[in-house]
Structure 1
């Protein structure tokens, strides 16, 4: 067997969390040998897919070649990780290649478990069944919205955890706003079938959202979990407290159940949930001090959003470099996440919160009151944040998220 390749830092995952962490580390210390392991050809700005499904963005603006976003100074191995040997400080890739590390950072994202909904995979992208959770399907969402004049449109949301918990609603509100503008909303029965028991997990934002539920005449069905789809018959089956409920549809926007990647769930790094078992403050692994986890694959109880990864990445960079230098982590994550809830074209409810649902607004309330729909929040979502993502976050610029050392050395 070939000798294992050795690095100071191995990062598993070239998504938002992995790339941003690599960039922040290399900005601080350009001498570390760092490799990013990810098999993908492309890197996606996933928060933009809601806007694609709403006819606001063209899909191609959300995609760039992975080679173009790998930070200067980092190596890239275009392969998938397979297994972890943390006692040996080693990762084995799918082709048998072994990498040894001084510090390991695990950020492979979350897995969309389409297969958990019977019949779904066979009908995605046709028969009126779509999802903004896939790059190739978001344009089909807009096609369906544009062409629908009457009938029933169902929007589903699976049990938590999911990435961007507001995305199922965003798709619905943008669709309703388009139908309202075209004067056909009154001929379309809109249903929101949410497996959870509340419209949104942080109470402060619910009143504003309920105003739009009422404005659009949405039939809110909580405790309603999508379990199967018959695309040919256009029937969706939901599991409710009263048993199975079959609903005919003309358009069905599906959000798939989401789970930890299997190679993480099967590894010694996993918590009981299957996600990377980390301390929710330092993001350091609970059993292996030279391993960190962040982004959607982490076990932290925060909302899984790109904004959360943006806050976590610099913090992990500082803490991982401290461990590399033989010190303890000194920065703590407060659970910050943001969910810009797109309630109509031109207005957004900017939900920003941390652990325990604590509100963590980035702006003073006189500028943006996150609990109310605002035009400025729309400009932030549609114009500023995509630019910040590509030109700031992925390049190690830590605007408004520079970590503060909160633990003594």
Structure 2
């Protein structure tokens, strides 16, 4: 077994892992290693636009080799075990890595097996989703071919990566059907397992405004328990209901990578996700192990905008701890960009802990859906991601 020692080892080469590596290098770190076997890097927020015909599939990805920062030691193998106390990472190819500081940024996994019948329904075309890259073109085919019948979209509480983005395909599909003149022939339903639509009151009001404008029927407290063909089974108030569908769009169940539980990085109540101090992003038992992104039990902050703030806090706190300075707090920032039509978007920034509206853009109202927020989300942010965030400049 080959053993290598590095100053910082990052497990996970997604948004958070690569952005953290780039920022650490810019802050003067000389020995950063990143563990990830992926050949491609995906800009996931664009998937909803590809799945609704508003972006080309080619815009989604770049080769992982092209986005790994120069100077980072890239281990193209999966992590199989982490020893938090020793800050040691074991890889599938037999390599062992040791770190002065260890960052867990391995994301969350879709868990279709948690929803009986979902995989068969997706494979047969009875269900669709914008949350898997390989199914995006099929999803667009389903949306544009529907001219009548019942369309059902699902939404669920945490854990969910970019939960609010499940509303993007809903509204974009309705906008497409309205433009084609067939929306009046389609019964559209949104099933949400929560007791309320959104914890931020102004954002909930804005979402409801567009639900009403499209004539979408909202059912709260409705938990999807299974799919069989075109039939979805829903449990509500202890009673089961079978709903027939002509189009079914699913927000997948999510789970933590097995690596976290098997390495003992979770705790009771975290659902298998990494335990973490929500202010400092430090593991409660291992002071030089840090956790960010979807893999961390940070509650309601599983968005790219939240991750950008977490990376900044993480990089600052690795330096603060080494210098003996107080650790900086993660401010709880998250953002819910919800496309309401092919020309307008609500850029709902809020604090994931207090659920108060945040405005990083000054006096501009970021809750009301506007064309400029759409242009930001669809055209500007992808460029910022590839050329700014992954380069450690933002």
Normalised by the length of structure 2, the TM-score is 0.96
Match of 1:331 among 328, 332, 335: 328
| CA displacement, residues 252-280 of structure 1 (integer Å, 9 cap, x when unaligned) | 00011112111112322113212111111
Structure 2 portions without partners, runs of 5+: none
More divergent stretch after superposition (311-320 vs 105-114): 311-320
The aligned residue for residue 93 of structure 1 is: 91
- Asked if 1:257 is matched to 2:256, the reply is no
1:204-215 aligned at under 5 Å gives the runs 204-215=202-213
Q: Residues 117-128 of structure 1: matches in 2 within 5 Å?
A: 117-128=115-126
Cα deviation, residue 125, structure 1 = 4.3
CA displacement, residues 15-72 of structure 1 (integer Å, 9 cap, x when unaligned): 00000000000011142x1111011111100011111122111122011111111011
Q: Is the 8 A contact 2:87 2:289 kept in 1?
A: no
Query: Aligned partners of 1:86 and 1:146: how far apart in 2?
Result: 49
What do residues 149-186 of structure 1 show as CA deviations (whole Å, max 9, x unaligned)?
00111001233220111122111011001001100001
1:372 aligns with one of 348, 364, 368: 368
Displacement of 1:221 in angstroms is 0.9
TM-superposed deviation, 1:196 = 1.0
Q: Is the 8 A contact 1:125 1:140 kept in 2?
A: no
Note if contact 1:15-1:43 (Cα within 8 Å) is conserved in structure 2: yes
> Larger deviation: 65-74 or 204-213?
204-213
**Separation (CA, whole Å) in 2 of partners of 1:127 and 1:277:** 38
Q: What TM-score, normalized to structure 1? A: 0.93
Q: Sort the Cα spacing of 1:114 and 1:328 in 2 relative to 1 into closer, same or farther, 3 A.
A: farther
- Corresponding residue for 1:78? 76
The yes-or-no answer on 1:283 pairing with 2:281 is yes
CA distance in 2, matches of 1:125, 1:49: 18
1:104 to 102, 105, 110: 102
Alignment correspondent of 2:314: 316
Query: Could you tell me how far 1:104 is from its partner in structure 2?
Result: 0.1
User: Please, what is the CA RMSD of the aligned residues?
Assistant: 1.4
Whole-angstrom CA distance in 2 between matches of 1:329 and 1:64: 38
- Pairwise mapping of residues 59-78 of structure 1 onto structure 2 (< 5 A)? 59-78=57-76
Q: Which runs of 5+ in 1 are unaligned?
A: 399-409
Output aligned runs, 1:38-187, within 5 Å: 38-187=36-185
Deviations 1:379-406 (A, max 9, x none): 11011111110100000002xxxxxxxx
Instruction: Indicate yes or no: 2:270 matched with 1:271.
Output: no
After the TM superposition, which segments of 4 or more aligned residues of structure 1 sit over 3 Å from their partners? none
